Structure 1
Amino acid sequence: MESHRVTRRRARSSRSRAVLSTVLASAVVVGGTAAGTVYVRAHADAGAVSSQSSVTPSASASASREASVEPAAEPSDDRDALLEKAMRAVAVEDGADVAVAVLDLDSGDSARYGDGAFDTASIVKVDILAALLLQAQDADRRLTAQEKAYATAMIEDSDNDSASALWTAIGRADGLARANKRLGLTDTTGGDGPLWGLTQTTAGDQLALLQQVFGDGSELSDASRTYLQGLMGNIAADQRWGVSAAADGAGWALKNGWLARSATGLWDVNSIGRITAGGRTYLVATLSNGSSTKEKGISLVEAAARAAVSAFA
């Protein structure tokens, strides 16, 4: 065989022949693994490169020809499984429920945990403003001074009266539905009549909304996206909780929602937004219901946000 002739030319001692034979045998084993269903993670691959650094270039080439190994694409990690594992460590109060979805904007990888529908509470205010901006774009106009005043109070201070005014302006649930069809929200249903806070949504739909606000290829114009991002980056100081708990420093833009249900006294607590952590940018949406207090709900969505980011660490 060609590899044996190379060995006789370059390594004359019997000890050298034994070493090269071992290398060749190892290469065959690795080749069989790469061709099968088992894969080696990146850190293991790095270790393999290090362990072969003492092999001469010609011997490495011979080993590669002998084993007929072609580099195989390493499958991506199962992010959903990693997120599910991370969520096992999140303490969930009896009777409470939580869902979270996350997208790494740098890689495009995403993960989701939980697919139930939740009351939006005040996070629907981002959707309301997105719908208003779409309507303004279609009419080729800018927001009026009054609309801007409502929008600022609604997002930055979570003012409910301003939300009610803009909810009416967009056409309530019907107007929201028309906007969401364009924005790609398929599992969101507007609240009855004036009850915008009881809009139903999923973590996946909220992630889709965040992509329209912060990602590429949006139905929203660059000017509309920049405007919404600016408001979400200037939230009132007492509302700077939620997904920001998973951020490094001040690298966040968010909107939170909280609502005590009158029938049960239990809390809906939600948080959506963009954060930066570990030098990467993430979109995170975490929804919850059934917490006995607002504070416990906040702790739950913050823990879920940290778990979401840890699935990509």
Structure 2
Amino acid sequence: MSYPRHIPRSKCVSRASSRAGACAGVLLASVTALVSLGGMHVAPAVAAPAPSPSAQSHATAGVNATKQRPSKVRVTAAALSLDGGSRKPLLDGEDAPYDTASIVKVDILATLLLQAQDKGRHLTAPERALAEPMIRNSDNAATNTLWREIGGASGLGEANKRIGLTSTKGGPGTKWGLTQTTASDQIRLLFSVFDGATKPKTDSPLNKDSRAYIRTLMTRVADDQAWGVSAVSRSDYALKNGWLQRTTTGLWDVNSVGRVTVDGHHYLVAVLSDGNVSMRDGVSAVERAAGRAVTATTRT
């Protein structure tokens, strides 16, 4: 199985320069693939998580992918203001299932933390040594190990019931990157992590330390990971990206989820896409969609 490389660090701007929100290669991305999104609409409210009880992303990609089929790009964006009282994210596009690619790594870490909480313990040093590169560097080998530890799709599904996800299904066997999810479910997951960051009370099944740990890793992603929803925020953001070239079509899934701060206001943003002719085009489409989603949310 072949693994496409991350965007080379040498091609990335510094964190300060990433206030433009992307790698240099992304800034030069083709804008010829126009993305047609549906009208803005409000998604169902983020469900309160159930009471707590006492391969893959850029990994299954094919460098030896088959010849590309004609591209038909899909993009769905969701945004939710953390400053208001609503749990209803604004959606742009159809809230349909997409491959997660590496954004599932946030869900895997949340599951690992919930399982540790149930046992009344913190993560072990070896678990942290895997969790940190999984989020900060999108390390696939670390993810493989943690996917097995949480019990794969079954363990992920049990945790997601408690978090309140309704449309996320773990990938088959070892293929965690083929987990299916929706933009609104990703907002629910982000809400379980970032709710309570600006106010003391939350009903997330993740405890205070678990939420803080995930947030910290998402705010410290490596420079070559700083693209996607971060383009909206310029400097203050927490994110996780995912990308996958499908071997059956040669086309790319490109996703980005996270929390951004714009003019002092905090937003959760999830953008999912597939059918991109290249990763660069996918990144450009995701960043444009993220900007539109946040702008529309500020107007509601």
CA distance in 2, matches of 1:238, 1:263: 27
| Equivalence map 1:134-173=2 (5 Å) | 134-173=114-153
Kept in 2: contact 1:83–1:308 (CA 8 A): no
- Distance in 2, Cα, partners of 1:278 & 1:305: 16
Verify: 1:299 aligned to 2:284, yes or no. yes
CA offset digits 1:159-193 (Å, max 9, x no partner): 00000100000000000000000001110000000
1:217 positional shift: 1.8
Does the 8 Å CA contact 1:133/1:220 hold for their aligned counterparts?
yes
**Is 1:274–1:281's contact at 8 Å kept on the other side of the alignment?**
yes
1:189 corresponds to 2:169: yes
Q: How does 1:1-313 map to 2 (within 5 A)?
A: 82=40, 94-109=71-86, 110-113=89-92, 114-215=94-195, 216-247=202-233, 249-313=234-298
Residue identity opposite 1:277 in structure 2: V
Larger radius of gyration: 1
Q: How far 1:83 sits from its partner (Å)?
A: 6.2
Q: Residues 79 and 297 of structure 2 are in contact (CA less than 8 Å); yes or no, is this contact kept in structure 1?
A: no
Q: TM-score, normalised by structure 2?
A: 0.73
The code of the aligned residue for 2:142 comes to: S
Distance, in Å, in 2 between the alignment partners of 1:235 and 1:296 is 22
CA–CA distance in 2 between the matches of 1:198 and 1:183?
Answer: 20
Q: Which runs of 4+ in 1 moved over 3 A?
A: 80-84
Find the residue that maps to 2:77 and give its secondary structure: strand
Structure 2 CA distance, aligned partners of 1:195 and 1:94?
24
Which 5+ residue runs of structure 1 have no aligned equivalent? 1-79, 85-92
| Structure 2: stretches of 5+ with no match in the other structure | 1-37, 43-69, 196-201
Deviations 1:100-119 (A, max 9, x none): 11100101343112211000
Describe the shift of the 1:108–1:303 C-alpha distance in structure 2 as closer, same or farther (beyond 3 A). Answer: farther
Structure 2: which amino acid aligns with 1:106?
A: D
In structure 2, the residue matched to 1:89 is none
Aligned to 1:25: none
Question: How far 1:82 moved relative to its partner?
Answer: 4.8
3-state SS, counterpart of residue 96 of structure 2: coil
Indicate conservation of the 8 Å contact 2:156/2:170, yes or no. Answer: yes
DSSP 3-state at the match of 1:242: coil
Query: Following TM superposition, by how much is the alpha carbon of 1:145 offset from its aligned partner in structure 2, in angstroms?
Result: 0.6
- SS at the partner of 1:287? strand
Retained in 2: the 8 A contact 1:83–1:311?
A: no
Taking the aligned partners of 1:108 and 1:263, their CA distance within structure 2 comes to: 43
Q: Secondary structure at the match of 1:312?
A: helix
Q: Which amino acid aligns with 2:117?
A: Q
The one-letter code sitting in structure 2 at the alignment partner of 1:225 is R
For 1:40-95, what per-residue CA distance to the aligned partner results, in whole angstroms no more than 9, with x for missing partners? xxxxxxxxxxxxxxxxxxxxxxxxxxxxxxxxxxxxxxxx95569xxxxxxxx950
Alpha-carbon distance in structure 2 between the residues aligned to 1:94 and 1:136? 43
Equivalent residue pairs, number: 225
Question: What value does the CA root-mean-square deviation take over the aligned residues?
Answer: 1.5
State the secondary structure of the residue aligned to 2:84: coil
The structure-2 alpha-carbon separation of the partners of 1:301 and 1:147, relative to structure 1 and needing over 3 Å to count, comes to same
Aligned AA (1:311): A
Where relative contact order (Cα < 8 A, 6+ residues apart) is larger, the structure is 2
Indicate the SS of the match to 2:297.
coil
Change (3 A) 1:201 1:146: same
In the alignment, is the contact (CA less than 8 A) between 2:77 and 2:290 conserved in 1?
A: yes
Letter in 1 for 2:216: G
Letter in 2 for 1:223: D
Q: Identity across aligned pairs (percent)?
A: 54
